[in-house]
Amino acid sequence: MSENKIINLALVCCGTVGGGVINILTKNHALIKKRLGLELTLKYVVDVKRPDELDEKLFPGMKFCDRIEPVINDPQVDIVIHLVGGEALEREFILSSLKKGKHVVTANKALLAKHGAAIFREALAHKCHVGFEASVAGGIPVIKALKEGLAANHIKAIYGIINGTANYILTSMQRAGCSFEDALATAQAKGYAEADPSFDVEGIDSAHKITILAELAYGGLVDFNSVYAEGIERITLNDLRYAEEFGYTVKLLGIAQMNQKLDVRVHPAMIPTQHLLAKVDGVYNAVYIEGDMVGPTIYYGQGAGREPTASAVMADVIEIAQRLISNRDKNAGDYNVLNYFSKNSLELLGPENINTGYYIRFMTIDQPGVLAQISGVLGAHKISISAVTQKERHAGDIVPIILMTHTAPEQAVAAALTEVERLSVVKEPPLKIRVMNELSGEEK
């Protein structure tokens, strides 16, 4: 730690979240100093463009540069805040910082999901701390909850609405009665969705985040490439309305639970409307965690955005600063590394081994005998139907047939749907949405 009771920070990349970090350091400077008992000072800002938020008078001696090497080579820098997107360059930056003995804070979920092992092993080797609260749910302190608040629990399950863009789209469709395409366009116009929204709507972003949560909860490394991810692109307004009639709300859900093997996946799910997760709307996120001792807990808030994410970044900075002040873990490295990321890889349950109920939509020619053909195929695969609806009747037209099933093996459902799709009366691939009846924690 730097002398004279000052902890020197370097901020690498001053985009949206970086601007939020500067804003917090500026507006809440006195509060942070009071709580820490010393100064946090911004010694470097690394970017190609000087940020508008930067008031250099508040940080005497601060240096602005467009290269990271001065930061890495300055022995007075204690903590480096890495907010660069992407993987290859940011991985190089973080590893270089750790090799120089600098503590690191990052919000890069894709990097941690894919390369966390290398980063945390490097941190352990150089007795450094790595903070990553902002990588999963923006301003929601779910990482700290798993590491500390629930540390005495075996984690039974995690269910997370952890992508605000997808949640906003589904909420907009439901409320405004619009199509997926129109809801996406609105999200892009409001800045909630990127010009290329594929990571959000295809479930990839959520998969990054649930991978990190699963590693923390179950004490091992998860192969991100083995995590099943399915998005919301095929869901229609009618699907949302049918779900509501059956007593469910559709959400893009990240799931991690131990069932002999670790089950980690992302897909649209039908949640009972009385469950707390079903009430999480718009760009908000929520993570439901059930421990064997504490029971169900839920963490709710803004999962993205400038200030909420910057708040999580600064929480890590302050925690590391507190450790430096008290010299905790001085010779042990980051205890998070020792207890979570230095273990063996966890074997994942394949998605074909899931057992759940299903909502299935078939688009078929409206003619006699169609339902009998479909139900016959499902019956041959021992899939039991619990409910059927077919509201739009126009002889000869293409109409939806909606089935709800009892609990069935995913493998059997997939085989049955492949067979049904070959029927001449079925005019597009069936859509299935898994039904989460096993969720506890319903609002009473």
Tell me: the pLDDT tens digits for 25-60?
999 989 999 998 888 999 999 998 877 767 767 788
Residue 128 shares a structural domain with residue 177: no
Name residues of the chain where pLDDT drops below 70.
Answer: 1-4, 53, 56, 328-343, 391-396, 440-444
* 403: nearest Cα among 439, 365, 363: 363
CA torsion 379-382-386-391 (nearest 10°) is -30
Question: Are 256 and 264 a contacting pair, CB within 8 Å?
Answer: yes
What amino acid is encoded at 134 in this protein?
A: A
Residue 111 shares a structural domain with residue 161: no
Residue 148 shares a structural domain with residue 209: yes
Q: Decide if 209 is catalytic.
A: yes
Residue indicated by tokens 């859900």: 253
**Residue 294, domain member (yes or no):** yes
Residue 147 shares a structural domain with residue 296: yes
Residue 155 shares a structural domain with residue 264: yes
**pTM, full prediction:** 0.92
Q: How far apart are CA 106 and CA 133, in angstroms?
A: 8
Residue 56 shares a structural domain with residue 92: yes
Number of folded domains that form the chain: 3
* 18: nearest Cα among 313, 315, 318, 283: 313
Q: Which domain holds residue 290?
A: 142-302
Q: How high is the pLDDT of residue 205?
A: 96
**Residue 359, domain member (yes or no):** yes
Q: How high is the pLDDT of residue 416?
A: 97
Q: Angle between the 306-326 and 16-27 helix axes, to the nearest 10 degrees?
A: 60
Counting every residue written for the chain, the total comes to 444
Q: How far apart are CA 123 and CA 82, in angstroms?
A: 14
Q: Which two tokens stand for residue 334?
A: 């980051």
Residue 15 shares a structural domain with residue 102: yes
Catalytic-labelled residue, pool 209, 251, 391, 444: 209
Q: How far apart are CA 116 and CA 213, in angstroms?
A: 12
Q: How high is the pLDDT of residue 396?
A: 65
Residue 172 shares a structural domain with residue 256: yes
Residue 44 shares a structural domain with residue 118: yes
Residue 158 shares a structural domain with residue 125: no
Residue 310 shares a structural domain with residue 291: no
**207: CATH:** 3.30.360.10
**Residue 349, domain member (yes or no):** no
**Residue 346, domain member (yes or no):** no
Q: How high is the pLDDT of residue 39?
A: 86
What amino acid is encoded at 331 in this protein?
A: N
**88: CATH:** 3.40.50.720
Q: How high is the pLDDT of residue 16?
A: 87
Residue 330 shares a structural domain with residue 361: no
SS3 129: coil
**396: CATH:** 3.30.70.260
Strands (E), 125-216: 130-131, 155-161
Q: How high is the pLDDT of residue 397?
A: 84
